A and B are shown apart, each in its own frame.
Chain A
Amino acid sequence: MKKYALNDITFFQYIFMIHGSQLGFGLLSLPADLAKSAGTDGWISLLFGWLLAILGSLITLQVMKKHPDLTVYDLLPRYFGRVLGAVMNVCLIGYFLLGFFIAFSALIGFFKVELLSNTPNFLMVLLFLLPTYNLARNQVRILGRYAEISFWGFLWLSLVYLYPLKDSHWIHMLPILKEGWGPVLHGIKTTGIAFLGFEISLVLYPFLKHKEKAAAGIIIGNSITLVMYMIVTVVSFLFFSPDDLLSYEFPTLKVLKVMEFRFLERVEIVVLVAYVFLSIRVWTHYLFAATFGISRLLGKQDHKLFVKLVSIGTLLTYIFYKPSFHEMGNMLGMFGHLGWVTAFVFPCFLLAYTSIIRRKEGGR
């Protein structure tokens, strides 16, 4: 029965894969987005976003628990029949593919603007596709290992954020709830895209070695993400004047621009390069989820071929389609909404459906 026994991932790898799928583009723009709707109270919105994400994750787990050895791709045909299940699978695959494409494009756009502004798009895509293919063609356990090592290996990035604290103004945070709860609740909306990524557990769950720890894992994963977001948000709030914060697109990075050491100046460039190691997890996880789905759909053992096809497809797309940086931003927003549907409504629906089915079967 254990279909994926050879590829199991450990508890920690599971945590870091959840966390890694979340920590993407959101990290860069989150402080500004939060400030836009909730001012310096944005960090409270973040807490609410985190609670919502945990709620969504737990619902997902409830669905997956019923068949601990099946991924969502195996689950859907079982519940909805071959045809309807396949259609739903295709939709899910489409969602993950879209997620891959948008996360990939947005981050590449970002790196291009910040580091190599004159290099043509498709060369950037080519450059980033190499490591992506190198990772995504592997099995889950390799992705898990990467998520784990990149987390520990780049934990120092959060220490870097202690440096701007020397120019911090704690007084910016006061008064708390200056405009009441309205803006705070409004701000929750913007945290959506930031916490999106936990839906990857729809695919990951059967690979987890110790399933009884899944709930703890997903909560810890979300919490690590929260801590990271909290650090950059609070540091940005403390560093920039609340009247000025809105004018920056990526305050997370801007905070580091004044950093200088005796041996290294312009630390933000180094941090940017290091950030590649973290952000690659987002799109490789999505790419893996999508191609894994395709291979299940077509009954193939290996998803490597599809990773290759998708990579080539992405490259071709970029030769003909050149999205501007702002279009990317809009797409990201759109994906945020779509994501909440997939990550929230879909598991809720599945949960409701399966309990009804179960009850019916029990009645017979």
Chain B
Amino acid sequence: MNRFCQAVLVILIALGMALLPGCYDQMNLEDASIALMLGLDVDNNGQFLVYTQSPVFSREAKEKTETVMVTADSIRLSRAKFDAVFTGITTGGKLQTILIGKRLLQKKEWFTLFDMFYRVPKLTETPRAVVVDGSVKDIFEFKPGDKPRLSLHMSKLIDTANMSDITVLTNLQELRRQMKEKGMTPSLSLIKKGKDDVLVTGTALINKKNTFAGQLSLQESTLLLILQNQINGVPSLVLDFGPAKEEEDGGNETEATVKNVIAIDITSYKRKVHTGFSNGKFSFHVDLHFNIVITTLQRMDSMSKREDKPAIERMITSALTKDIDALISKCQRASVDPFGFGLYARAYQYKSWKSVQNEWDKAFAEAEVGVHVKTSIKSFGVLE
């Protein structure tokens, strides 16, 4: 009998638990307005702007997404304003992309706006952080007819761009790492609103003062990824060997439309960094060994012989070395280290690193970086 009473008691408690709480944390899917894309920007008056876009689940609604812009002092505060507009309660649990206006990056301490994402467990840390070259508003107002939901399209765009190694993929967690890490500076994907589309233009660099410090082109981004050792799959590079001259019918030389170009696929590569410290300067020697496949030899018919392999290898090597050297010195001039050389400094020259760790950007600008490239062509394709 005693056990029976217990069973009844347990059932009563269970029922009580079911009825009492009123479900404090409940949030039904239909009551939620799931923000998929967030935009942060500054207007001309220096007022902070927050954009958000969420899907609408309704047969009656014509538009499948709703977009709202509010001015606010923080992202969290903007939520209250969003709730005033949206049908549902705004949640950031499924955020896909965060667009950051280039103008916001000029403001100091912009990164503290992101504090919420790391502090509130319910929020996600996977959204891709993307810098917009231009106004964030343009992108949010963009309604492409031939694309899926803009927010899905954007995240897919960044992902595939990263897959083909033409830009970095920095999610919020990675952004924080790069921001807080003393030995490197952040790099973010950079996009731009074209006339009828949104396109990835490369990589945005941010310096130690957390402001915008320059941008890299698509090809430079690929080289950056190589130096970061963050390559996905098989990256392609197009090496340009100066403008070709050609004689037109009239006899005067003009720049040819079809240029002297070698296109290569890097099937695999090895990277090795040697770190040294002398005369108050860090020195890094990067050994890069590429295994490549030739995919195009444009205007180089004369060289497409097997015997020319060493010559072509030499050409490619020097072109790559030149490009990489240019990229590194460009970064050094801007006092940014998106490559993470500081990590090597810390790992291998800890004593010297300790004294400069808080101004690594300056130390890196002065550092000697030498690149030693080696290429071996594994294949010329299926043409003789």
Contact A116 B13 (CB under 8 A): no
Interface assignment of B21: CB less than 8 Å from any CB of chain A: yes
Binary CB contact string for chain B from 140 to 176 against chain A (1 if under 8 A, 0 otherwise): 0000000000000000000000000000000101101
Give the chain B neighbours of A244 by CB distance below 8 A: 176-177, 180-181
Rounded to whole Å, the gap between the CB of B180 and the closest CB of chain A is 4
Find residues 63-122 in chain A having any chain B CB closer than 8 Å to their own CB.
113-120
B residues near A114, Cβ cutoff 8 Å: 121
Chain A proximity of B317: nearest CB distance (Å): 27
| CB <8 Å contact, B25 and A116 | yes
B121 contacts A174, C-beta separation under 8 Å: no
Q: Smallest CB–CB gap between A167 and chain B, Å? A: 7
Q: Mark B101-136, 1 if CB is under 8 A from A, else 0.
A: 000000000000000001001101110000000000
- Docked Cα-Cα span, A123 to B24, in Å, equals 10
Question: Count of chain B residues with Cβ under 8 Å from any Cβ of A?
Answer: 30
Kindly state the separation between the CA atoms of A258 and B350 in the bound complex, as whole angstroms: 30
Q: Are the C-beta atoms of A171 and B347 separated by less than 8 Å?
A: yes
Q: Is B348 an interface residue (CB 8 A)?
A: yes
Q: Are B25 and A119 in contact (CB under 8 A)?
A: yes
Cβ 8 A contact of B25, one of A118, A171, A172, A178:
A118
Q: Is A260 interfacial (CB 8 A cutoff)? A: yes
Does B79 lie at the interface of the complex (its beta carbon under 8 Å from any beta carbon of A)? Answer: no
- Using A130-B13, A171-B343, A257-B124 as known contacts, say yes or no to A116 and B177 having CB atoms under 8 A apart: no
Are the C-beta atoms of B125 and A257 separated by less than 8 Å?
yes
Contacts of A241 in B (CB 8 A): 177, 180-181
Chain A residues whose C-beta falls within 8 Å of the C-beta of B350 in the assembled complex: 175, 178
- CA distance in complex: A118, B25 (Å): 6
Question: Is the beta-carbon distance between A266 and B343 smaller than 8 angstroms?
Answer: no
Given A116-B25, A119-B25, A172–B343 Cβ distance below 8 Å? yes
Verify A118–B24 contact, CB threshold 8 A: yes
Contact B180 A123 (CB under 8 A): no
Within 8 A of A (CB), among B82-106: 93-94
- Find chain B residues with CB under 8 A from A243 CB: 180-182
Q: Kindly state whether residue A344 has any CB partner on chain B within 8 Å.
A: no
Q: Which of A130-187 contact B (CB under 8 A)?
A: 130, 167, 169, 171-172, 174-175, 178
Note all chain A residues with C-beta closer than 8 A to B10: 130
User: Is residue A12 within 8 Å, beta carbon to beta carbon, of the partner chain?
Assistant: no
**Considering the chains assembled together, what is the distance between the CA atoms of A114 and B119 in angstroms?**
11
What distance in Å separates the Cβ of A326 from its nearest Cβ neighbour in chain B? Answer: 15
Please measure, in the bound complex, the distance between the C-alpha atom of A171 and the C-alpha atom of B177, giving whole angstroms.
Answer: 14
Task: Point out the residues of chain B lying under 8 angstroms from A123, CB to CB.
Answer: 17, 20-21, 24
CB of A318 within 8 A of chain B? no
In whole Å, how far is B260's beta carbon from the nearest beta carbon of chain A?
39
Q: Which residues of B contact A240 (CB under 8 A)?
A: 177
Closest to B122 in A: A117
- Nearest Cβ in chain B — how far from A186, in angstroms? 18
In the complex, per-residue mask of B287-320: 1 if CB is within 8 Å of any chain A CB, else 0: 0000000000000000000000000000000000
Q: How far is the CB of B162 from chain A (nearest CB, A)?
A: 13
With A120-B24, A123-B20, A243-B182 as known contacts, state yes or no: A266 contacts B344, CB within 8 Å. Answer: no
A258 touching B126 by the CB < 8 A rule? yes
A126 contacts B13, CB within 8 Å? yes
How far, in angstroms, from A254 to B173 measured CA to CA in the complex?
9
Q: Is A127 on the interface with B (CB-CB < 8 A)?
A: yes
- B21, B125, B350, most chain A CB atoms within 10 A: B21
Chain B residues with Cβ below 8 Å from A174 are 346-348
Given contacts A113-B121, A130-B14, A266-B93, 5 further A-B contacts (CB under 8 A): A117-B121, A118-B24, A123-B17, A130-B13, A258-B173
List 18 interface pairs A-B (beta carbons < 8 Å), by A numbering: A115-B25, A116-B24, A117-B121, A123-B21, A127-B17, A130-B14, A171-B343, A175-B346, A243-B181, A244-B176, A244-B177, A247-B180, A257-B125, A257-B126, A258-B171, A258-B173, A260-B126, A265-B94
Show the binding face of A for B, using Cβ within 8 Å.
113-120, 123, 126-127, 130, 167, 169, 171-172, 174-175, 178, 240-241, 243-244, 247-248, 254, 257-258, 260, 265-266
Closest 3 CB pairs of A and B: A174-B347, A244-B180, A241-B181
